[in-house]
């Protein structure tokens, strides 16, 4: 295949066939973080016999065949020199968001990024000073704490309110924190809960940010796998002033399971801020393209829709399976139904108290490794996050092990 573009996607779309997401692949040989039960070489390992890994957020599925074929072709070429993104790269990104999310970022608004988290760090370093307040809404993806505190900024936590097994905004408290904040780090859709924020909710947040002069960094990495009829609303699409103050961070890495070949895009409508951010990124030599990451992004966005549609149905099936299984056989565990992503947030607070730490209980008694809700900050205590981006037979095995562990209590 030559370079991917939108016209080739129709050929790919016809040829995709039924994908066997049930198939289990051994991932140990390539140093998988998820299956080594280790975040990185600096974190302690989760120890256990024959552990099933249903924690960190990548999936146990092969990427779309079109992506694999193009990467294989590039790998076979064997010369992995410096590579660049041409203007078509940004047209591909623009076209993806226009087709999938009814949002068409201006071509000149887009900056290349190696991944989401390094670009958020660059934004904080460019637009806030040490000691400045940055708001997050917990429970939340824990590297947000690290990127704020690790860069010497002040973490301001607005706890989400849990109502009828859904998270709601606490706008009153958000406004109190806003008075001492320079930036707000929005996770849309929300990780760990998989909630897609509505236009009304985003507008309410934007109104407060407008009043207090707060910049909004929106991380939309989980926007593509849509499980409910709630659309993904891009923050900058709600109004002109929202667009002016925002940085929209996107990547195909969760969507197409490409976390190990990352490439991301940041859209910044305001020219002055875009230039300032680019200057920081250039000073950190962050803008060089990764040979495989750039290609993977282009091919995935150009040809990946049929794969993504099948994946979304499969993940939806896995979520349904978890909801039913929990109702029948996991007493003390209440899953939250996600609007998007491949993550299911499980309320196990009673159980957590009873067993003195529910995550460790399932590691020790079930051989299942889930993410401990405590990691997600205030409000995460007693919850666990289950990654359903895996073959259903494997998911079933994990849930059955958990069920047996609960029976033995």
Ligand X SMILES: Cc1ncc(COP(=O)(O)O)c(C=O)c1O
* Residue ranges binding ligand X (CB under 6 A): 57, 115-117, 141, 187, 191, 219, 221-222, 251, 253, 259, 262, 264
Contacts of 119 (CB under 8 A, 6+ apart): 111, 113, 249, 264, 266, 281, 286
Angle between helices 291-303 and 6-15 (to 10 degrees): 70
- Report the alpha-carbon distance of residue 73 to residue 104 in Å, rounded: 31
Q: How far is the CB of 137 from ligand X (least distance, A)?
A: 12
CB of 391 to ligand X, least distance (A): 20
- Residue (187 or 209) nearer to ligand X, CB: 187
- 25, 394 contact by CB (below 8 A): no
- In what helix (H) or strand (E) does residue 166 lie, and over which residues does it extend? strand 166-168
Output 115 or 405, the one with its CB closest to ligand X: 115
Minimum CB separation from ligand X for residue 214, in Å? 20
* Shortest Å distance, C-beta 120 to ligand X: 8
Positive or negative: CA dihedral 44, 46, 50, 56: negative
Cβ 263 to ligand X shortest distance, Å: 9
Work out the end-to-end distance of the chain between its first and last CA atoms, rounded to an integer number of angstroms.
56
Give the residue with the Cβ less far from ligand X, 192 or 306.
192
Query: Residue 122 or 156: which CB sits closer to ligand X?
Result: 122
Q: In whole angstroms, what is the distance from residue 293 CA to residue 314 CA?
A: 25
Neighbours of 381 (CB within 10 A): 15
Based on CB atoms, which residue is closest to ligand X, 330 or 388?
388
Q: Provide, rounded to whole angstroms, the least separation between the CB of residue 403 and ligand X.
A: 27
The least distance separating ligand X from the CB of residue 143, rounded to whole angstroms, comes to 7
In this structure, what are the phi and psi dihedrals at residue 71, rounded to the nearest 5 degrees? -70, -35
* C-beta separation of 232 from 189 below 8 A: yes
Rounded Cα distance between 198 and 189, Å, is: 10
Quick one: 36 or 69, whose CB is closer to ligand X?
A: 36
- Which residues are CB-contacts of 55 (< 8 A; sequence separation ≥ 6)? 34, 37, 369, 370, 371, 385, 387
Which CB, 253 or 303, lies closer to ligand X?
253
């Amino acid at each position: 295949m030559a370079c991917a573009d939108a016209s080739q996607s129709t050929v790919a779309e016809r040829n995709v066939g039924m994908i066997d997401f049930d198939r289990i692949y051994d991932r140990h040989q390539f140093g998988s973080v998820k299956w080594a039960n280790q975040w990185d070489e600096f974190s302690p390992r989760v120890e256990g016999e024959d552990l099933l890994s249903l924690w960190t957020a990548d999936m146990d599925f092969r990427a779309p065949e079109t992506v694999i074929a193009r990467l294989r072709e590039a790998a076979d070429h064997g010369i992995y020199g410096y590579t660049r993104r041409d203007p078509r790269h940004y047209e591909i990104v623009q076209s993806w968001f226009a087709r999938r999310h009814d949002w068409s970022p201006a071509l000149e608004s887009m900056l290349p990024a190696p991944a989401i988290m390094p670009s958020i760090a660059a934004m904080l370093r460019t637009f806030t000073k040490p000691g400045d307040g940055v708001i997050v809404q917990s429970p939340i993806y824990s590297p947000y704490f690290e990127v704020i505190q690790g860069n010497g900024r002040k973490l301001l936590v607005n706890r989400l309110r849990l109502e009828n097994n859904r998270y709601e905004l606490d706008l009153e408290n958000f406004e109190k924190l806003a008075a001492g904040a320079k930036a707000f780090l929005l996770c849309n859709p929300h990780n760990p809960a998989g909630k897609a924020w509505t236009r009304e909710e985003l507008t309410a947040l934007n109104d407060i940010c407008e009043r207090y002069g707060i910049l909004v960094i929106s991380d939309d990495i989980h926007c593509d796998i849509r499980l409910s009829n709630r659309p993904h609303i891009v923050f900058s699409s709600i109004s002109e002033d929202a667009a002016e103050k925002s940085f929209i961070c996107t990547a195909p890495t969760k969507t197409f399971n490409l976390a190990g070949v990352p490439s991301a895009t940041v859209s910044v409508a305001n020219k002055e801020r875009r230039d300032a951010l680019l200057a920081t990124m250039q000073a950190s030599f962050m803008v060089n393209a990764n040979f495989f990451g750039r290609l993977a992004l282009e091919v995935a966005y150009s040809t990946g829709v049929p794969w993504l549609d099948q994946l979304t149905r499969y993940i939806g099936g896995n979520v349904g399976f978890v909801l039913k299984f929990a109702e029948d056989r996991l007493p003390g565990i209440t899953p939250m139904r996600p609007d998007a992503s491949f993550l299911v947030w499980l309320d196990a607070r009673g159980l957590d108290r009873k067993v003195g730490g529910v995550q460790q209980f399932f590691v020790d008694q079930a051989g299942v490794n889930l993410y401990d809700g405590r990691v997600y900050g205030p409000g995460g205590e007693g919850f666990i996050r289950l990654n359903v981006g895996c073959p259903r037979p494997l998911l079933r095995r994990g849930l059955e092990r958990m069920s047996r562990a609960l029976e033995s209590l």
